[in-house]
């Protein structure tokens, strides 16, 4: 089972590396709570087609080491960079989902872009959902903090009760089975309580808007019109407007979990964008 050590504090981090070494490289950065298994409908078919698909289990997630420290955004972004350095990857398409988009943005703006040719931000919480001086329509930070406290009290209930909305199962379009939803809820429990709550605690003050103008590689923003976890107007649409030259693809009636419900469409976007 492949592991490497974080360059910041020697945390043991698990990664997967599928497909031919010589193929076009896509590096997948996971959502909060989830491991690389969330990308099965992307990594397996794309690797079979000749893409090199690499994924990282964030510290405290999946099969990576359970630690107390290192959940500040710079360290998380540097963990992503350490994986790219470890495998000596170049011309990378860096694809993040949900909180993973935050790590992608910060990695690019920390100066790590020499290995990255392009980025895909899927159902992102970037640039941040909270109200700020330059985002007056955002969510009240105190409401986010109250949600975080509820989450601490019963993570299992949050994952279970939020699953249908996560996949927008109440709307017409492609869906997922009850068994798959239960599987994803179980995967969310694979993140430690420390890791899960630490990421949530970053959200009330998260504001990447000032640094997004620094991104100088092509960026594709993919977002569902019915995303309840990261509403389109608060996140995806703002991201596309803030990053110079970014392209926005909106999937109608798709929720936060479009990587599963709209896997075929997302895969086609990844294929096309990676080959540009």
- How distant is the alpha carbon of residue 194 from its chain centre? 18
The catalytic residue among 227, 229, 262, 269 is 227
- Can 223 be counted among the known catalytic residues? no
Q: What is the rounded distance in angstroms from the CA atom of residue 109 to the CA atom of residue 111?
A: 5
- Name the packing angle between helices 40-48 and 263-274 (round to 10°): 50
The catalytic residue among 98, 229, 262, 269 is 98
- Can 66 be counted among the known catalytic residues? no
Strands of the sheet with 219-224, listed across from one edge: 3-5, 12-18, 52-56, 25-29, 92-97, 116-122, 219-224, 247-251
Q: Roughly how many angstroms between the first and final C-alpha of the chain, as a whole number?
A: 33
Q: What is the rounded distance in angstroms from the CA atom of residue 81 to the CA atom of residue 62?
A: 19
The catalytic residue among 6, 256, 262, 269 is 256
- Can 98 be counted among the known catalytic residues? yes
Residues 6+ apart with CB under 8 A from 262: 173, 174, 224, 251, 254
Q: Residue 134, Cβ neighbours under 10 Å: how many?
A: 12
The residues annotated as belonging to the active site are 98, 227, 256
């Amino acid at each position: 089972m492949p592991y490497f050590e974080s360059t910041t504090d020697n945390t043991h981090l698990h990664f997967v590396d599928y497909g031919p070494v010589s193929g076009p490289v896509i590096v997948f950065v996971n959502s909060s709570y989830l491991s690389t298994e969330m990308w099965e409908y992307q990594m397996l078919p794309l690797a079979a087609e000749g893409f090199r698909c690499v994924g990282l289990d964030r510290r405290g997630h999946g099969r990576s080491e359970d630690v107390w420290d290192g959940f500040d955004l710079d360290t998380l972004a540097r963990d992503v960079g350490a994986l790219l350095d470890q495998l000596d990857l170049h011309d990378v398409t860096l694809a993040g989902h949900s909180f993973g988009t935050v790590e992608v943005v910060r990695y690019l703006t920390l100066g790590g872009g020499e290995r990255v040719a392009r980025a895909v931000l899927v159902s992102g919480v970037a640039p941040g959902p909270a109200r700020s001086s330059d985002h007056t329509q955002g969510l009240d930070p105190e409401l986010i903090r109250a949600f975080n406290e509820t989450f601490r009290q019963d993570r299992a209930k949050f994952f279970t009760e939020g699953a249908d909305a996560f996949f927008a199962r109440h709307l017409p379009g492609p869906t997922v089975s009850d068994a798959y939803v239960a599987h994803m809820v179980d995967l969310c429990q694979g993140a430690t309580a420390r890791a899960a709550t630490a990421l949530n605690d970053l959200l009330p003050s998260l504001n990447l808007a000032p640094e997004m103008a620094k991104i100088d590689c092509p960026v594709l923003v993919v977002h569902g019109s019915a995303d309840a976890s990261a509403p389109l107007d608060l996140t995806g649409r703002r991201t596309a407007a803030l990053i110079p030259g970014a392209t926005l693809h909106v999937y109608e009636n798709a929720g936060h979990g479009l990587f599963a419900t709209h896997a075929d469409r997302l895969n086609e976007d990844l294929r096309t964008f990676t080959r540009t």
